[in-house]
């Protein structure tokens, strides 16, 4: 109100000054009262015009975008301008803050690994994040305000959305044709809906794999169990000669052995999956592994194959010795098991140009058709089921090899042609290999260190 008294005072002053001037100028015409009134009125009128001009300036500013400051007048209009501008600026600041918050919310929803889509009361798309757009095959800009069910026509989804009962999520093939989606709808606001989508392709695949795995294990165990229970029944009900009894016990032993191998391989796999990566600073001489692998293969072959080992090496490999031995021996034993009597099995080790180490087993066995090669490392995948079982195979050997290779940063590669034999290669990275210091070098190294220490003293 600082403007009120100056304003009243200015009005009063204009009136008095105008009156005095009117009186002085009007004396010659002998009408002093009229002249005072006229002069006072004229002065107040001039003040009013001046005041109106200031008001017009403020209104012009208000009509505009208010990007510049309000007119900086003193008094009444100045205060109105200042207060209006202050409230406009405060509102602008709060709008900017709201926009920033909204932007943060949208960014957070955008960062969600799940799809979020909002539809209005008419079922039209209001907003969606890019994950939802990809799940439903939508374009967030182009498809805005389109009815969702016009664009996503999967019958299960349309029925779910229109059914209005959203307690459980619904699953259906993804409209982008790349797997399976799980969608949950939530009501919010005034008849609006939040559509939350999740790509469950991987989960479904893992579930299917687990189901297959359990079915396969059950099947693998049931077969020897059925044979065993048949033998037990035979022994219980039939009078057997000593020869027959011995034969049956041998067969029972074989079935028990089969189950034991299966359980051992299953435990190995479970352990490989559940344990931390093998140490990178625990070194095993490669030669020791090769000798052990060769010895195992010779025992299995019983002289039925021509078996060679090449690649004398002083190298050491970093990792879990037991795992490495099991992987290398698996490949060599497979070669012996699948190669007919009289065939060749060549086991070798060499260092490749980039410093990586290659363990290879080459055989002259039956070879493998091309279409089986990508599936060999799947659990229980067998090319020749009866040969595998007859030779004590579990169908898990190559999955164990692949796991061990991966855990040591290596790779398994198979090259095979029917009738021409197979070559299984395991390549370990250079970082996992080293040459130990020769004893002379080691001694020189320590004497140099001693010399350095004594000269330092
Ligand atoms: P298994 O215990 O049945 O040998 P693996 O996982 O070790 O299981 O091997 C998977 C399948 O790959 C085997 O059943 C066999 O059909 C095929 N296979 C593996 N090694 C050889 C090989 N050296 N020659 C021919 N076939 C092989």
The rounded distance, in Å, linking the Cα atoms of 257 and 391 is 11
pLDDT in tens, 50-101: 888 888 888 888 888 888 888 887 778 888 888 888 999 999 999 999 999 9
pLDDT in tens, 162-203: 998 999 999 999 887 778 999 999 999 988 999 999 999 999
Give the residue, by CA position, lying nearest to ligand 1 atom 20: 334
What is the CATH T-level fold of the domain 208-274, as seen in this structure?
Answer: Helix Hairpins (1.10.287)
Give the residue, by CA position, lying nearest to ligand 1 atom 21: 334
Which pLDDT belongs to residue 299?
96
CATH class of the domain defined by 283-434:
alpha beta
In this prediction, residue 19 has a pLDDT band, given cuts at 50, 70 and 90, of confident
Residue 198: CB within 6 Å of ligand 1? no
Atom of ligand 1 nearest to the CA of 424: 23
pLDDT in tens, 391-444: 888 999 999 999 999 999 999 999 999 999 999 999 999 999 998 866 655 455
Q: Could you identify the residue written with the tokens 């220490």?
A: 453
Sheet arrangement for strand 125-128: 125-128, 115-119, 192-199, 180-188, 170-173
Q: Read out DSSP for 226-288? A: HHHHHHHHHHHHS---HHHHHHHHHHHHHHHHHHHHHHHHHHHHHHHHHSPPPPSS-EEEHHH
Beta carbons within 8 Å of 434's beta carbon, 6+ residues apart: 283, 315, 316, 318
Atom of ligand 1 nearest to the CA of 394: 2
Give the residue, by CA position, lying nearest to ligand 1 atom 8: 395
Quick one: what percent of the chain has pLDDT higher than 70? 95
- Phi/psi of residue 168, nearest 5 degrees: -110, 155
- Provide the whole-model pTM: 0.68
Q: Are strands 421-428 and 433-434 parallel, antiparallel or unpaired?
A: unpaired
Q: Are 387 and 338 in contact (CB under 8 A)?
A: yes
Residue 395: CB within 6 Å of ligand 1? yes
The rounded distance, in Å, linking the Cα atoms of 15 and 105 is 62
Residue 364: CB within 6 Å of ligand 1? no
Give the residue, by CA position, lying nearest to ligand 1 atom 10: 382
Tell me the pLDDT of the chain averaged across its residues.
89
Residue 394: CB within 6 Å of ligand 1? yes
How many Cβ atoms are within 10 Å of 104's Cβ, its own excluded?
A: 10
- Phi/psi of residue 420, nearest 5 degrees: -120, 10
Atom of ligand 1 nearest to the CA of 396: 6
- 167 CA → ligand 1 middle, Å: 48
For a substitution probing ligand 1, which of 223, 333, 338, 371 has the most ligand atoms within 8 Å of its CB?
Answer: 338
Same fold, 113-199 and 283-434: no
Q: In the 8-state DSSP scheme, what is residue 198?
A: E
Q: Structural domain boundaries of the chain?
A: 4-94, 113-199, 208-274, 283-434
> Torsion over CA of 205, 208, 214 and 218, rounded to 10 degrees?
-140
Residue 421: CB within 6 Å of ligand 1? no
Residue 338: CB within 6 Å of ligand 1? yes
**Architecture category of domain 113-199 in CATH:** 2-Layer Sandwich (3.30)
Q: Are strands 344-351 and 306-310 parallel, antiparallel or unpaired?
A: parallel
């Amino acid at each position: 109100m600082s403007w009120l008294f100056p304003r009243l005072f200015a009005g009063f002053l204009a009136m008095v000054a105008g009156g005095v001037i009117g009186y002085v100028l009007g004396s010659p015409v002998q009408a002093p009262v009229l002249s005072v009134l006229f002069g006072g009125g004229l002065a107040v009128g001039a003040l009013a015009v001046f005041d109106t001009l200031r008001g017009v300036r403020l209104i012009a500013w208000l009509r505009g975008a208010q990007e510049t400051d309000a007119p900086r007048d003193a008094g009444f209009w100045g205060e109105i301008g200042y207060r209006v501008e202050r409230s406009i600026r405060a509102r602008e600041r709060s709008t900017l803050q709201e926009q920033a918050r909204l932007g943060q919310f949208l960014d957070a929803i955008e960062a969600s690994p799940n799809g979020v889509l909002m539809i209005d009361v008419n079922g039209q798309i209001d907003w969606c994040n890019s994950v939802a757009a990809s799940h439903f095959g939508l374009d967030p800009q182009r498809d805005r305000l389109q009815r969702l069910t016009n664009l996503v026509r999967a019958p299960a989804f349309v029925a779910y959305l229109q059914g209005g009962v959203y307690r459980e999520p619904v699953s259906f093939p993804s409209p982008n044709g790349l797997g399976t989606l799980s969608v949950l709808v939530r009501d919010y606001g005034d008849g609006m809906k939040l559509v939350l989508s999740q790509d469950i392709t991987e989960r479904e695949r893992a579930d299917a794999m687990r189901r297959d795995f359990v079915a396969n294990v059950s099947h693998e165990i049931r077969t020897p169990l059925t044979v065993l229970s048949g033998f037990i029944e035979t022994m219980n009900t039939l009078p057997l000669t000593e020869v027959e009894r011995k034969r049956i016990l041998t067969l029972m032993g074989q079935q028990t052995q089969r189950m034991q191998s299966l359980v051992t391989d299953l435990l190995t796999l479970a352990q490989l999956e559940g344990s931390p990566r093998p140490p990178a600073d625990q070194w095993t001489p490669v030669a020791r592994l090769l000798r052990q692998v060769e010895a195992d293969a010779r025992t299995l072959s019983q002289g039925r194959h021509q078996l060679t080992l090449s690649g004398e090496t002083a190298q050491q490999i970093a990792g879990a010795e037991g795992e490495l031995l099991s992987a290398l021996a698996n490949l060599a034993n497979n070669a012996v098991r699948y190669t007919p009597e009289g065939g060749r099995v060549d086991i070798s080790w060499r260092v490749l140009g980039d410093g990586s180490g290659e363990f290879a087993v080459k055989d002259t066995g039956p070879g493998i058709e091309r279409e089986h090669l990508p599936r060999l490392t799947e659990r229980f995948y067998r090319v020749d089921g009866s040969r595998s079982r007859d030779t004590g195979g579990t169908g898990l050997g190559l999955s164990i090899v692949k796991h061990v290779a991966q855990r040591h940063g290596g790779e398994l590669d198979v090259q095979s042609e029917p009738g021409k034999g197979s070559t299984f290669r395991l390549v370990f990275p250079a970082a996992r290999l080293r040459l130990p210091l020769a004893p002379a070098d080691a001694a020189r190294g320590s004497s140099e260190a001693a010399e350095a220490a004594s000269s330092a003293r």
